[in-house]
Amino acid sequence: MKKSLLLVTALFFGLSLLVGFGPAPVQAKTTFVTIGTGGITGVYYPTGGAIAKMVNAKRTEYGIRATVESTGGSVFNVNAIMSGDLEFGVVQSDRQFQAIKGMAEWEGKPQKDLRAVFSIHPESVTLCASVDSGIKDIKDLKGKRVNIGNPGSGQRQNSIDALEANGIDWEEDLKAEQVKAAEAPGLLQDGRLDAFFYTVGHPSGAFKEASAGATKVRFVSISNVDKLIDKYPYYAKSFIPVAQYPGARNDKDVPTFGVKATFVTSSKVPDEVVYAITKEVFENFDAFKKLHPAYAVLTKEGMLEGLSAPIHPGAMKYFKEAGLK
């Protein structure tokens, strides 16, 4: 009887393997990564989305599943990457410099595990004001209601640097607001702001919104840029291309200064993950450039500039293979 039972069991098990009822095949491990970006009206969010889409298209090859998170911006992204809450993030080049050097929000606490992957598009520190406010230059901001940017954003310090270079104390001389960039255009149109700063690539959805409403606006020039660049070498001269905003009351491009958006990670993120993401962006470079007008000026060589933190070994492996390093 026992022999018969064993024989039947063995036959059933053998047949189950043939018809597919046996043990499930071992699944390849999926690595989940999250990319921190910024507000949904800026360029960071679609940038993160474009990178995630490229990587997810090769999910079966790389075993990586990327998701995108809208965040408070550069400072938040650096801190979240360092704590392990994010694997990647888009960060202004000046904030990358300050984090690795232990400056500004990281005073005396250099973020030694921060790693650069590549840089992306240039970003201009952009000041927009209602025509009715009478603001035509940054020096006209005294006593006005001005959004300088939310805590945790990179643009906030850019705003403060621009103000200080022109002798304006944001705490004493302005009626300063500190809301997210996505909220500022609506507040300007509603008459609750006279002006707002936003560090962003152009064209920007925020400034399209700001310049398309009933309240007429103009882009405002920022003076003393040479003084700023002498003090902060990570800044560079820039301009606002006003032709991209036909609703604005400007007849020529507006001088300002800017930084670069950079893509960063942690030394703790595996080399093969960083390699795969770097490879997908660079080997689909022409397609990547078409994803947003702000990318039009990109070159592969230029995407290795503006990086203050050490380049992650996974990214470096690809750059050497591609002859970029």
Amino acid at 74: S
Average pLDDT of the residues in 189-205: 95
Q: What is the pLDDT of residue 29?
A: 86
% of the chain surpassing 70 pLDDT? 91
Which SS3 state, helix, strand or coil, does residue 137 take? strand
Contact 271, 314 (CB under 8 A): yes
The full DSSP string for 49-94 is HHHHHHHHTTHHHH-EEEEEE--S-HHHHHHHHHHTS-SEEEEEHH
Q: How confident is the model at residue 5 (pLDDT cuts 50, 70, 90)?
A: very low
What residues form DSSP beta bridges with 116? 264, 311
Average pLDDT of the residues in 47-52: 93
Contact 134, 143 (CB under 8 A): no
Contact 181, 200 (CB under 8 A): yes
| pLDDT of 320 higher than 70 | yes
Contact 238, 256 (CB under 8 A): yes
Average pLDDT of the residues in 8-25: 46
| pLDDT of 7 higher than 60 | no
| pLDDT of 19 higher than 60 | no
Q: How confident is the model at residue 22 (pLDDT cuts 50, 70, 90)?
A: very low
What residues form DSSP beta bridges with 259? 123
Q: What is the pLDDT of residue 233?
A: 81
Do strands 195-200 and 145-147 pair parallel, antiparallel, or not at all (unpaired)? parallel
How many C-beta atoms lie closer than 10 Å to residue 118's C-beta? 24
Q: What is the pLDDT of residue 294?
A: 84
pLDDT (tens digit per residue) in 122-161:
899 999 999 999 999 999 999 999 999 999 888 999 999 9
* pLDDT top residue among 10 and 167: 167
Contact 272, 241 (CB under 8 A): no
Identify the structural domains of the chain with CATH numbers, from first to last. Answer: 31-122+260-321 (3.40.190.10), 124-258 (3.40.190.10)
- Copy the structure tokens of residue 202: 């152009």
Residue with tokens 């930084």: 259
User: Average model confidence (pLDDT) for the chain?
Assistant: 90
* pLDDT top residue among 239 and 8: 239
| pLDDT of 4 higher than 70 | no
What is the end-to-end Cα distance of the chain in Å, rounded?
Answer: 74
Q: What is the pLDDT of residue 293?
A: 85
Helix axes 313-321, 271-283, angle to 10 degrees: 40
Which SS3 state, helix, strand or coil, does residue 138 take? helix
pLDDT (tens digit per residue) in 225-269:
999 988 888 898 889 999 999 999 999 999 999 999 999 999 999
Name the least confident of 66-75, 82-91, 293-302, 306-315.
293-302
